[in-house]
Structure formats: structure tokens, C-alpha cells
């Protein structure tokens, strides 16, 4: 029986063939016919196909970690020595075989916010290239010296917070050089970013995330969906983060001012690594991956979180010994005493109350108290506009 098949490339005329041709000669003949009929369109299609194939097979590189499709590769972002010592920030690139967005997960800017670091260690160990579409870049420990020396808040090398000097500069101190390289290697190469934090060694903090509104409706809709997918039940709405990409200060605003939707989430406190807190951060990252279609399955956003539209800080006005009167997560009325400070002989020299009703997001977790440092933070419940 003689059968005629035809190859229908758009705009090409059918090329009649006979059934006894081999598959290859069949394909070649079809292609030849199509090229003769419409060379420019075919050329463009081939070009597009080659570019797409190249993009899919080319290595994705962050620092010394270079991963092809289906690979999980570890490496370092090498921060060269400058006015002070160099450092190397660990990074893992997990690359799916299927195409998809690039999500960056970062923690340990404050190297003793252990829960966030352990959560990303878990992601590095358990997220496999075979299960994702796209790429996940994990930077679990930005501030190595803080971690090793057990120094909270700052990088002990230059005494700077590693989440306040973005986008950084190459001729600055270690923190600034690290910020510059994270901006180049991580922020500029990703499509979305999550920055993880938590209560530091001296901070008794309840879990919450930040939704930073930028005024860009599309960006804000995406970050709202991300923060709801992350799933922490208390969300602080921030409207005053920097909008200038060259003065972005925070990692999250470094991403958002460069057009990359980003959120920040915090869990863990006072040097502890509680299973529930670690799980909350890991599950949050995984659910954002579902929202971004990096992981299969349906993202289940949290239904009705508590939105916190203002955060009131309660600083101490004296040096001394701090005694808390509330716990993290406690809901207080305006006037509820949150803590007091004594001199070194036990005499109360200062007592502070909540200025408004709200939830204790954080209360100082140690007796050390210096004038100007925070006794507690109170989050005011509100509705996001």
C-alpha cells in the first residue's frame, strides 16, 4: 500500500514521500523540502532551538560551584583579601534537568542564628536535582567568622552586620567585599530570593516573615504570594525598605531593587536549634518552590496570617541587668510591663511597658543590657493595604 505522509512546518508545502524510506532519509528529505520552502523561518527556528538547548545544557556557575543539568555541586564564593583578611562563603548549586526559575536561599549573615543555617544545611542534603525544575542556589553560611567565634550580630573581622552593607564594594572591608560578591554572584544570577534569619544568641524571638512592599504592584503581588506560601503565621508588613539599588543595605532589598522578588523569614532563638523551627523554615522554602513550580505539587499558602503593620521597639535607657517579664509570642496590652533593669546590686533602675497592644516578637534573652539596646519589640496587628 502506498501512503503519503507530509511534514507540516508552518508555511512549508507538504513534501510527498513513500513508505519504504528509512527514518533518517525521511527526516532529511522533509527538512530539505522545508528549508527550500521557507529558509528564513527554519533558520530562526534552528537558532532558537540551539539557544534554548545551550541555555539548558550550559553550566550554571556561582563562585567555584558550576552545575550542569541534573547536578548538585558545592563550591565557594571566594572573597579576596583586601584591607583585611579574605574569606570563602560556601555555596551549593542544585540544578534540575528541566528548565525553570533560579531561586536563591541565603542564611547565616548572622552566623549565630543557627536555626536558619541548619535549615539550609537540610536543604543542601535533601533537595535533589532529579526532583526540581530550574535551579536552587543555597548559601547557608554567609558569616563564617561569626559562626566559628560565636559572635552575634556582626562579622568579628570588621564589626559590621553582614545584612546592612549591600550592595557592597570590592575596595571595602570584608563584609563589604562579601556583600559585593553576593550581589554579583547570587542576586544578579537569581530570579527570586529568600533570606533566612532568626533570633540571635541574645534574642528570644517568635517566628515571623517580612513582606516588603515596594510600590511595584506586580512585584508586590509576587512577594505577597511568596510570603503566604512560606507559611509563617505572623507577617510584618514593611514599607520603608530602601528603593535605591546602589544603597540597598539589606540583601532582600538588593534583590527587589534589581527586579528580583524577595522575602525574609525568621525562626529560632537564643542559640537553640529546635526541630519545629528548623522544620518551619525548610517547609517554607519547599512551599515557595512549589509556588514557583520548581518543585511539583500544589503550594498551600497560609489562610489567614496575623499581619503586623507596625513594630514598636522598647530600648533600655540605662546599663544594667535585665529581667524579662514577658515571653516571645505573648500578646500584651498597652501598659503591660515587659521587663526591668537593675543596677549591679539588685536595685531596679528602669522598668518598661508596652507602648501599644500587640505581640512580643522579640524579648532580650540574656541579662546583659546596655543603654539604647532593645528590651523587646512589639508587633501591632493590622491589615495590609
Positions touching Zn ion (CB under 5 A) are 110, 113, 197
Grid coordinates given for 291: 509556588
Grid coordinates given for 210: 517580612
CA–CA distance, 214 with 96 (Å, rounded to integer): 31
Residue 351, beta-bridge partner list = 340
177 vs 197, which CB is nearer to Zn ion? Answer: 197
CA–CA distance, 317 with 375 (Å, rounded to integer): 10
Whether the CB-CB separation of 241 and 212 falls below 8 Å is answered with yes
294: which DSSP letter? S
Least separation in angstroms between CB 205 and Zn ion:
10
Whether the CB-CB separation of 67 and 94 falls below 8 Å is answered with yes
67 vs 285, which CB is nearer to Zn ion? Answer: 285
Least separation in angstroms between CB 269 and Zn ion:
11
Grid coordinates given for 28: 532529511
Strands 358-364 and 203-205: antiparallel
Whether the CB-CB separation of 88 and 131 falls below 8 Å is answered with no
Distance of CA 165 to the CA centre of its chain: 17
Asked, as a colleague might, if the bond just before 167 is cis with ω within 30 of 0, I would say yes
Least separation in angstroms between CB 110 and Zn ion:
4
Q: Which residue is nearest to Zn ion (CB)?
A: 197
197 vs 328, which CB is nearer to Zn ion? Answer: 197
CA–CA distance, 340 with 336 (Å, rounded to integer): 12
Burial 341-357 (b: 16+ CB within 10 A, else e): bbeeeeeeebebebeee
Least separation in angstroms between CB 238 and Zn ion:
15
113 vs 176, which CB is nearer to Zn ion? Answer: 113
269 vs 291, which CB is nearer to Zn ion? Answer: 269
60 vs 362, which CB is nearer to Zn ion? Answer: 362
267 vs 314, which CB is nearer to Zn ion? Answer: 267
CA–CA distance, 326 with 204 (Å, rounded to integer): 10
Amino acid at each position: 500500500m502506498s501512503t503519503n505522509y507530509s511534514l507540516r512546518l508552518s508555511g512549508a508545502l507538504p513534501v510527498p514521500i513513500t513508505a519504504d524510506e528509512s527514518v533518517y532519509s525521511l527526516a532529511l528529505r522533509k527538512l530539505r523540502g522545508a528549508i527550500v520552502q521557507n529558509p528564513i523561518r527554519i533558520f530562526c527556528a534552528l537558532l532558537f532551538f540551539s539557544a534554548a538547548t545551550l541555555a539548558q545544557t550550559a553550566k550554571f556557575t556561582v563562585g567555584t560551584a558550576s552545575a550542569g543539568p541534573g547536578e548538585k555541586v558545592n563550591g565557594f564564593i571566594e572573597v579576596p583579601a583586601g584591607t583585611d583578611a579574605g574569606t570563602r562563603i560556601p555555596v551549593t548549586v542544585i540544578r534540575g534537568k528541566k528548565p525553570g526559575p533560579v531561586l536563591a536561599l541565603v542564611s547565616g549573615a548572622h552566623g549565630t542564628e543557627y536555626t536558619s543555617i541548619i535549615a539550609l544545611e537540610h536543604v543542601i542534603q535533601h533537595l535533589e536535582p532529579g526532583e526540581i525544575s530550574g535551579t536552587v542556589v543555597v548559601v547557608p553560611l554567609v558569616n563564617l567568622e561569626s559562626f566559628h567565634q560565636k559572635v552575634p550580630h556582626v562579622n568579628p573581622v570588621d564589626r559590621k552586620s553582614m545584612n546592612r552593607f549591600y550592595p557592597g564594594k570590592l575596595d571595602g572591608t570584608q563584609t563589604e567585599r562579601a556583600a559585593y560578591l553576593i550581589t554579583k554572584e547570587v542576586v544578579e544570577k537569581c530570579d527570586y530570593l529568600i533570606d533566612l534569619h532568626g533570633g540571635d544568641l541574645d534574642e528570644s524571638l517568635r517566628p515571623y516573615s517580612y513582606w516588603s512592599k515596594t510600590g511595584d504592584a506586580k512585584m508586590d503581588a509576587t512577594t505577597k504570594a511568596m510570603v503566604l506560601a512560606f507559611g509563617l503565621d505572623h507577617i510584618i508588613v514593611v514599607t520603608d525598605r530602601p528603593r535605591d539599588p546602589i544603597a540597598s543595605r539589606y540583601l532582600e532589598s538588593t534583590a527587589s531593587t534589581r527586579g528580583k522578588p524577595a522575602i525574609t523569614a525568621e525562626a529560632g532563638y537564643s542559640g537553640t536549634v529546635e526541630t519545629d523551627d528548623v522544620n518551619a523554615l525548610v517547609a517554607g522554602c519547599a512551599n515557595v518552590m512549589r509556588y514557583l513550580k520548581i518543585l511539583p505539587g500544589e503550594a498551600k499558602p497560609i489562610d489567614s496570617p496575623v499581619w503586623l503593620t507596625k513594630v514598636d521597639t522598647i530600648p533600655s535607657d540605662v546599663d544594667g541587668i535585665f529581667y524579662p517579664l514577658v515571653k516571645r509570642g505573648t500578646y500584651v496590652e498597652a501598659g503591660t510591663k515587659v521587663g526591668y533593669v537593675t543596677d549591679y546590686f539588685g536595685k531596679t533602675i528602669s522598668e518598661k511597658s508596652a507602648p501599644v497592644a500587640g505581640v512580643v516578637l522579640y524579648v532580650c534573652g540574656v541579662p546583659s543590657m546596655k543603654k539604647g539596646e532593645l528590651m523587646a519589640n512589639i508587633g501591632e496587628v493590622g491589615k495590609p493595604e
